[in-house]
Structure 1
Amino acid sequence: MVIESISLFLSKRLKMLDPDHPADQEVLRWQINIYLNYLGTLILVIVCSLFTGKIIESLLSMFIFIVIRKFSGGVHLRSITACTLLSALIFCVIPLIKVDHIGIFNIIAGTIFLFYGPSFKDEVTIKSRFSNLQLKLICIAIVSSNFIIDSPVLALTFLSQAIFVLPIWGK
Protein backbone atom coordinates (compact mmCIF):
# COMPACT_ATOMS: atom_id res chain seq x y z
CA MET A 1 0.00 0.00 0.00
CA VAL A 2 1.00 3.62 -0.40
CA ILE A 3 1.91 4.64 3.15
CA GLU A 4 3.70 1.38 3.82
CA SER A 5 5.80 1.82 0.67
CA ILE A 6 6.72 5.39 1.57
CA SER A 7 7.61 4.34 5.13
CA LEU A 8 9.79 1.51 3.89
CA PHE A 9 11.60 3.81 1.45
CA LEU A 10 12.16 6.53 4.07
CA SER A 11 13.29 4.12 6.78
CA LYS A 12 15.82 2.48 4.46
CA ARG A 13 17.05 5.89 3.38
CA LEU A 14 17.38 7.12 6.97
CA LYS A 15 19.25 4.03 8.02
CA MET A 16 21.53 4.37 5.01
CA LEU A 17 22.26 8.01 5.91
CA ASP A 18 22.87 7.17 9.57
CA PRO A 19 23.78 3.48 9.92
CA ASP A 20 24.90 3.99 13.54
CA HIS A 21 21.49 5.27 14.69
CA PRO A 22 20.37 3.12 17.65
CA ALA A 23 16.95 2.32 16.12
CA ASP A 24 16.91 -0.42 13.53
CA GLN A 25 15.26 0.08 10.16
CA GLU A 26 12.09 -1.79 11.17
CA VAL A 27 11.53 0.48 14.19
CA LEU A 28 12.05 3.54 12.00
CA ARG A 29 9.56 2.16 9.44
CA TRP A 30 6.97 1.55 12.16
CA GLN A 31 7.33 5.08 13.56
CA ILE A 32 7.20 6.65 10.09
CA ASN A 33 4.01 4.63 9.44
CA ILE A 34 2.42 6.22 12.51
CA TYR A 35 3.44 9.75 11.53
CA LEU A 36 2.25 9.32 7.95
CA ASN A 37 -1.03 7.83 9.18
CA TYR A 38 -1.71 10.89 11.35
CA LEU A 39 -0.55 13.32 8.68
CA GLY A 40 -2.46 11.58 5.88
CA THR A 41 -5.63 11.41 7.94
CA LEU A 42 -5.34 15.07 8.90
CA ILE A 43 -4.82 16.17 5.29
CA LEU A 44 -7.71 14.03 4.02
CA VAL A 45 -10.01 15.27 6.77
CA ILE A 46 -9.20 18.91 6.01
CA VAL A 47 -9.63 18.47 2.26
CA CYS A 48 -12.86 16.46 2.54
CA SER A 49 -14.37 18.72 5.17
CA LEU A 50 -13.76 21.74 2.95
CA PHE A 51 -16.41 20.23 0.68
CA THR A 52 -18.84 19.49 3.51
CA GLY A 53 -18.32 22.78 5.33
CA LYS A 54 -17.74 20.89 8.59
CA ILE A 55 -14.01 21.47 9.17
CA ILE A 56 -14.20 22.17 12.91
CA GLU A 57 -16.57 19.26 13.55
CA SER A 58 -14.46 16.82 11.51
CA LEU A 59 -11.25 17.87 13.26
CA LEU A 60 -13.02 17.60 16.63
CA SER A 61 -14.10 14.07 15.74
CA MET A 62 -10.55 13.17 14.75
CA PHE A 63 -9.05 14.64 17.91
CA ILE A 64 -11.49 13.04 20.35
CA PHE A 65 -11.23 9.69 18.54
CA ILE A 66 -7.44 9.75 19.01
CA VAL A 67 -7.83 10.66 22.69
CA ILE A 68 -10.30 7.94 23.60
CA ARG A 69 -8.50 5.34 21.45
CA LYS A 70 -5.34 5.89 23.53
CA PHE A 71 -7.25 4.62 26.55
CA SER A 72 -9.56 2.07 24.92
CA GLY A 73 -7.41 0.41 22.27
CA GLY A 74 -9.29 -1.31 19.48
CA VAL A 75 -8.91 -3.31 16.32
CA HIS A 76 -6.12 -2.48 13.89
CA LEU A 77 -6.57 -2.76 10.17
CA ARG A 78 -3.97 -4.79 8.32
CA SER A 79 -2.91 -1.77 6.27
CA ILE A 80 -1.93 1.69 7.49
CA THR A 81 -3.22 3.11 4.21
CA ALA A 82 -6.62 1.47 4.77
CA CYS A 83 -6.63 2.83 8.33
CA THR A 84 -5.91 6.33 7.07
CA LEU A 85 -8.68 6.20 4.47
CA LEU A 86 -11.28 4.66 6.79
CA SER A 87 -10.42 7.07 9.61
CA ALA A 88 -10.72 10.11 7.34
CA LEU A 89 -14.04 8.81 6.01
CA ILE A 90 -15.41 8.32 9.53
CA PHE A 91 -14.27 11.77 10.69
CA CYS A 92 -15.79 13.49 7.64
CA VAL A 93 -19.10 11.62 7.70
CA ILE A 94 -19.82 11.87 11.44
CA PRO A 95 -20.59 15.63 11.36
CA LEU A 96 -23.12 15.04 8.56
CA ILE A 97 -25.25 12.62 10.60
CA LYS A 98 -28.21 14.10 12.45
CA VAL A 99 -28.60 12.71 15.97
CA ASP A 100 -31.67 13.37 18.09
CA HIS A 101 -30.97 11.15 21.11
CA ILE A 102 -27.38 11.90 22.06
CA GLY A 103 -27.76 10.34 25.50
CA ILE A 104 -28.64 6.94 24.01
CA PHE A 105 -25.47 6.95 21.91
CA ASN A 106 -23.45 7.94 24.99
CA ILE A 107 -24.99 5.09 27.00
CA ILE A 108 -24.31 2.53 24.25
CA ALA A 109 -20.68 3.68 23.85
CA GLY A 110 -20.11 3.76 27.61
CA THR A 111 -21.60 0.29 28.01
CA ILE A 112 -19.35 -1.11 25.28
CA PHE A 113 -16.28 0.42 26.94
CA LEU A 114 -17.42 -0.96 30.30
CA PHE A 115 -17.83 -4.55 29.11
CA TYR A 116 -15.28 -4.82 26.28
CA GLY A 117 -12.63 -2.18 26.85
CA PRO A 118 -9.80 -1.82 26.87
CA SER A 119 -8.79 -3.87 23.87
CA PHE A 120 -5.04 -3.68 23.30
CA LYS A 121 -3.14 -6.19 21.21
CA ASP A 122 0.47 -5.02 20.98
CA GLU A 123 0.48 -1.57 22.54
CA VAL A 124 2.04 -1.57 25.96
CA THR A 125 2.73 2.10 26.64
CA ILE A 126 -0.62 3.11 28.13
CA LYS A 127 -1.35 -0.33 29.60
CA SER A 128 1.87 -0.23 31.56
CA ARG A 129 0.72 2.92 33.36
CA PHE A 130 -2.93 2.06 34.04
CA SER A 131 -4.87 -1.03 35.05
CA ASN A 132 -7.73 -2.30 32.88
CA LEU A 133 -10.20 -0.95 35.43
CA GLN A 134 -8.58 2.49 35.33
CA LEU A 135 -8.66 2.48 31.52
CA LYS A 136 -12.36 1.51 31.53
CA LEU A 137 -13.14 4.28 34.02
CA ILE A 138 -11.21 6.85 31.98
CA CYS A 139 -13.15 5.89 28.83
CA ILE A 140 -16.46 6.01 30.67
CA ALA A 141 -15.57 9.40 32.18
CA ILE A 142 -14.70 10.78 28.74
CA VAL A 143 -17.97 9.49 27.28
CA SER A 144 -19.93 10.71 30.32
CA SER A 145 -18.63 14.25 29.77
CA ASN A 146 -20.86 14.33 26.72
CA PHE A 147 -23.95 14.23 28.93
CA ILE A 148 -22.92 17.79 29.84
CA ILE A 149 -21.44 18.86 26.49
CA ASP A 150 -24.36 17.29 24.57
CA SER A 151 -22.52 17.04 21.25
CA PRO A 152 -23.79 14.76 18.49
CA VAL A 153 -20.30 14.72 16.96
CA LEU A 154 -18.79 13.47 20.22
CA ALA A 155 -21.57 10.90 20.71
CA LEU A 156 -21.03 9.41 17.25
CA THR A 157 -17.25 9.54 17.59
CA PHE A 158 -17.39 7.70 20.91
CA LEU A 159 -19.73 5.10 19.44
CA SER A 160 -17.56 4.60 16.36
CA GLN A 161 -14.48 4.00 18.55
CA ALA A 162 -16.46 1.72 20.87
CA ILE A 163 -17.38 -0.44 17.87
CA PHE A 164 -13.66 -0.97 17.21
CA VAL A 165 -13.30 -2.33 20.77
CA LEU A 166 -15.94 -5.04 20.30
CA PRO A 167 -14.60 -8.60 20.07
CA ILE A 168 -16.26 -9.16 16.68
CA TRP A 169 -13.20 -8.39 14.60
CA GLY A 170 -11.23 -11.58 15.10
CA LYS A 171 -7.46 -11.50 15.09
Structure 2
Amino acid sequence: MIDAVSWRIARGIKSAVPEHPLSVEVLKYAVSFVLNTGSIIVFSLAISFFTGRVAEVLTVLVAYALLRQVSGGLHLKSGTLCVVASTAGITAMSFADFGPAAVTVANLAALLLAAVYAPSRIEGQTRIPKKYYPLLRFVSIIIVSSNFLIQSPILAAAFLVQCVTLIRPLRRGGEHREEKGHV
Protein backbone atom coordinates (compact mmCIF):
# COMPACT_ATOMS: atom_id res chain seq x y z
CA MET A 1 0.00 0.00 0.00
CA ILE A 2 2.75 2.48 0.94
CA ASP A 3 4.61 1.60 -2.25
CA ALA A 4 1.51 2.25 -4.37
CA VAL A 5 0.84 5.58 -2.64
CA SER A 6 4.49 6.57 -3.01
CA TRP A 7 4.37 5.75 -6.72
CA ARG A 8 1.23 7.88 -7.25
CA ILE A 9 2.71 10.82 -5.32
CA ALA A 10 6.01 10.57 -7.22
CA ARG A 11 4.21 10.50 -10.58
CA GLY A 12 2.14 13.50 -9.48
CA ILE A 13 5.25 15.43 -8.52
CA LYS A 14 6.95 14.58 -11.81
CA SER A 15 3.90 15.57 -13.87
CA ALA A 16 3.63 18.87 -11.97
CA VAL A 17 7.34 19.60 -12.51
CA PRO A 18 8.41 17.51 -15.54
CA GLU A 19 11.73 19.34 -15.94
CA HIS A 20 12.87 18.36 -12.43
CA PRO A 21 16.10 16.34 -12.73
CA LEU A 22 15.01 13.52 -10.40
CA SER A 23 13.40 10.45 -11.94
CA VAL A 24 10.02 9.11 -10.82
CA GLU A 25 11.87 6.14 -9.27
CA VAL A 26 14.08 8.38 -7.13
CA LEU A 27 11.09 10.49 -6.10
CA LYS A 28 9.16 7.32 -5.20
CA TYR A 29 12.04 6.13 -3.01
CA ALA A 30 12.17 9.47 -1.19
CA VAL A 31 8.40 9.62 -0.73
CA SER A 32 8.24 6.02 0.51
CA PHE A 33 10.99 6.76 3.04
CA VAL A 34 9.02 9.72 4.40
CA LEU A 35 5.74 7.77 4.44
CA ASN A 36 7.33 4.73 6.14
CA THR A 37 9.13 6.75 8.79
CA GLY A 38 6.18 9.06 9.40
CA SER A 39 3.73 6.16 9.64
CA ILE A 40 5.91 4.28 12.12
CA ILE A 41 6.24 7.37 14.32
CA VAL A 42 2.55 8.32 14.14
CA PHE A 43 1.20 4.79 14.73
CA SER A 44 3.69 4.05 17.53
CA LEU A 45 2.89 7.31 19.32
CA ALA A 46 -0.86 6.83 18.83
CA ILE A 47 -0.68 3.38 20.42
CA SER A 48 1.52 4.74 23.22
CA PHE A 49 -1.20 7.21 24.22
CA PHE A 50 -3.51 4.25 24.84
CA THR A 51 -0.87 2.16 26.61
CA GLY A 52 0.46 5.04 28.71
CA ARG A 53 4.01 4.42 27.43
CA VAL A 54 4.65 7.67 25.51
CA ALA A 55 8.05 8.38 27.10
CA GLU A 56 9.13 4.79 26.58
CA VAL A 57 8.06 4.76 22.92
CA LEU A 58 9.90 8.04 22.34
CA THR A 59 13.00 6.49 23.93
CA VAL A 60 12.77 3.44 21.68
CA LEU A 61 12.17 5.56 18.56
CA VAL A 62 15.20 7.77 19.19
CA ALA A 63 17.57 5.02 20.39
CA TYR A 64 16.66 2.55 17.66
CA ALA A 65 16.88 5.17 14.89
CA LEU A 66 20.19 6.56 16.17
CA LEU A 67 21.83 3.13 16.26
CA ARG A 68 20.28 2.13 12.93
CA GLN A 69 21.75 5.20 11.21
CA VAL A 70 25.30 4.12 11.98
CA SER A 71 24.91 0.33 12.03
CA GLY A 72 22.50 -0.36 9.16
CA GLY A 73 20.37 -3.48 9.27
CA LEU A 74 17.76 -5.61 7.59
CA HIS A 75 15.33 -3.97 5.17
CA LEU A 76 11.94 -5.54 4.60
CA LYS A 77 10.69 -5.84 1.02
CA SER A 78 7.34 -4.21 1.70
CA GLY A 79 6.89 -0.73 3.10
CA THR A 80 3.60 -1.76 4.68
CA LEU A 81 5.20 -4.79 6.34
CA CYS A 82 7.97 -2.51 7.62
CA VAL A 83 5.42 -0.16 9.20
CA VAL A 84 3.47 -3.00 10.82
CA ALA A 85 6.54 -4.87 12.09
CA SER A 86 8.28 -1.71 13.31
CA THR A 87 5.20 -0.35 15.08
CA ALA A 88 4.57 -3.70 16.79
CA GLY A 89 8.24 -4.01 17.76
CA ILE A 90 8.48 -0.47 19.10
CA THR A 91 5.32 -0.95 21.12
CA ALA A 92 6.62 -4.26 22.53
CA MET A 93 10.04 -2.80 23.37
CA SER A 94 8.37 0.06 25.26
CA PHE A 95 7.23 -2.54 27.82
CA ALA A 96 10.75 -3.90 28.46
CA ASP A 97 11.10 -4.21 32.22
CA PHE A 98 13.77 -6.55 33.40
CA GLY A 99 16.45 -6.47 36.06
CA PRO A 100 20.09 -5.36 35.98
CA ALA A 101 21.43 -8.82 35.16
CA ALA A 102 19.17 -9.15 32.11
CA VAL A 103 20.07 -5.60 31.01
CA THR A 104 23.76 -6.54 31.19
CA VAL A 105 23.22 -9.75 29.21
CA ALA A 106 21.20 -7.89 26.54
CA ASN A 107 23.88 -5.18 26.41
CA LEU A 108 26.63 -7.78 25.98
CA ALA A 109 24.72 -9.58 23.24
CA ALA A 110 24.05 -6.30 21.39
CA LEU A 111 27.68 -5.26 21.83
CA LEU A 112 28.93 -8.55 20.38
CA LEU A 113 26.56 -8.31 17.40
CA ALA A 114 27.56 -4.68 16.73
CA ALA A 115 31.27 -5.58 16.96
CA VAL A 116 30.89 -8.47 14.51
CA TYR A 117 28.31 -7.18 12.02
CA ALA A 118 28.11 -3.36 12.06
CA PRO A 119 27.71 -1.77 9.65
CA SER A 120 25.44 -4.15 7.81
CA ARG A 121 23.51 -3.80 4.57
CA ILE A 122 24.30 -0.12 4.05
CA GLU A 123 25.83 -0.51 0.62
CA GLY A 124 23.64 1.44 -1.78
CA GLN A 125 21.80 3.02 1.16
CA THR A 126 24.39 5.64 2.10
CA ARG A 127 26.94 7.92 0.56
CA ILE A 128 29.47 7.10 3.28
CA PRO A 129 32.62 5.65 1.69
CA LYS A 130 33.63 2.11 2.73
CA LYS A 131 36.84 3.43 4.28
CA TYR A 132 34.66 4.91 7.09
CA TYR A 133 32.83 1.66 7.87
CA PRO A 134 35.23 0.87 10.75
CA LEU A 135 34.30 4.22 12.26
CA LEU A 136 30.60 3.35 11.93
CA ARG A 137 31.30 0.08 13.76
CA PHE A 138 33.13 1.98 16.49
CA VAL A 139 30.27 4.48 16.89
CA SER A 140 27.78 1.59 17.01
CA ILE A 141 29.80 -0.01 19.80
CA ILE A 142 29.93 3.27 21.72
CA ILE A 143 26.16 3.76 21.42
CA VAL A 144 25.44 0.23 22.66
CA SER A 145 28.06 0.54 25.42
CA SER A 146 26.41 3.68 26.75
CA ASN A 147 23.71 1.48 28.25
CA PHE A 148 26.23 -0.17 30.56
CA LEU A 149 26.19 3.20 32.36
CA ILE A 150 22.51 4.05 31.86
CA GLN A 151 21.22 0.52 32.65
CA SER A 152 17.88 1.03 30.89
CA PRO A 153 15.87 -2.09 30.07
CA ILE A 154 14.16 -0.18 27.25
CA LEU A 155 17.48 0.85 25.69
CA ALA A 156 18.79 -2.71 26.13
CA ALA A 157 15.77 -4.07 24.25
CA ALA A 158 16.01 -1.43 21.50
CA PHE A 159 19.75 -1.93 21.00
CA LEU A 160 19.50 -5.72 21.03
CA VAL A 161 16.63 -5.83 18.53
CA GLN A 162 18.44 -3.40 16.22
CA CYS A 163 21.66 -5.39 16.46
CA VAL A 164 19.83 -8.63 15.61
CA THR A 165 18.84 -6.98 12.30
CA LEU A 166 22.56 -6.69 11.49
CA ILE A 167 23.11 -10.44 11.27
CA ARG A 168 24.10 -11.67 7.83
CA PRO A 169 24.84 -15.24 6.82
CA LEU A 170 28.52 -16.18 6.90
CA ARG A 171 30.30 -18.12 4.16
CA ARG A 172 32.92 -20.70 4.91
CA GLY A 173 36.05 -18.89 5.97
CA GLY A 174 34.09 -16.32 8.00
CA GLU A 175 33.31 -13.84 5.23
CA HIS A 176 29.91 -12.20 5.10
CA ARG A 177 27.75 -13.25 2.19
CA GLU A 178 26.90 -10.26 0.04
CA GLU A 179 23.20 -9.94 -0.60
CA LYS A 180 21.68 -8.21 -3.59
CA GLY A 181 18.86 -5.75 -3.14
CA HIS A 182 16.69 -5.33 -0.11
CA VAL A 183 16.00 -8.27 2.13
In the alignment, what sits opposite 1:122?
124
In the alignment, what sits opposite 1:33?
32
Q: 1:129, CA displacement in angstroms?
A: 7.6
Length-normalised TM-score, structure 2? 0.87
In the alignment, what sits opposite 1:4?
3
Name the amino acid aligned to 1:24.
S
Deviations 1:4-44 (A, max 9, x none): 11101100011000001111111100000000011100111
Name the amino acid aligned to 1:122.
G
Q: State yes or no: 1:72 paired with 2:71.
A: yes
In the alignment, what sits opposite 2:134?
133
Length-normalised TM-score, structure 1? 0.93
In the alignment, what sits opposite 2:143?
142
Q: CA RMSD in A?
A: 1.7
Query: How many residues are paired up?
Result: 169
Structure 1 unaligned runs (5+)? none
CA distance in 2, matches of 1:132, 1:4: 30
CA distance in 2, matches of 1:67, 1:96: 20
CA distance in 2, matches of 1:95, 1:25: 37
In the alignment, what sits opposite 1:24?
23
CA distance in 1, matches of 2:4, 2:142: 39
CA distance in 1, matches of 2:130, 2:47: 36
Q: 1:121, CA displacement in angstroms?
A: 3.8
Q: State yes or no: 1:61 paired with 2:60.
A: yes
**Secondary structure at the residue paired with 1:77?**
coil
Deviations 1:82-139 (A, max 9, x none): 11111111111112132212111111001001011110242132x3286222111101
Name the amino acid aligned to 1:87.
S
Structure 2 unaligned runs (5+)? 170-178
CA distance in 1, matches of 2:131, 2:151: 28
CA distance in 2, matches of 1:111, 1:33: 32
Identity, in percent, stands at: 29
In the alignment, what sits opposite 2:42?
43
**Secondary structure at the residue paired with 1:145?**
helix
Q: Is the 8 A contact 1:59 1:91 kept in 2?
A: no
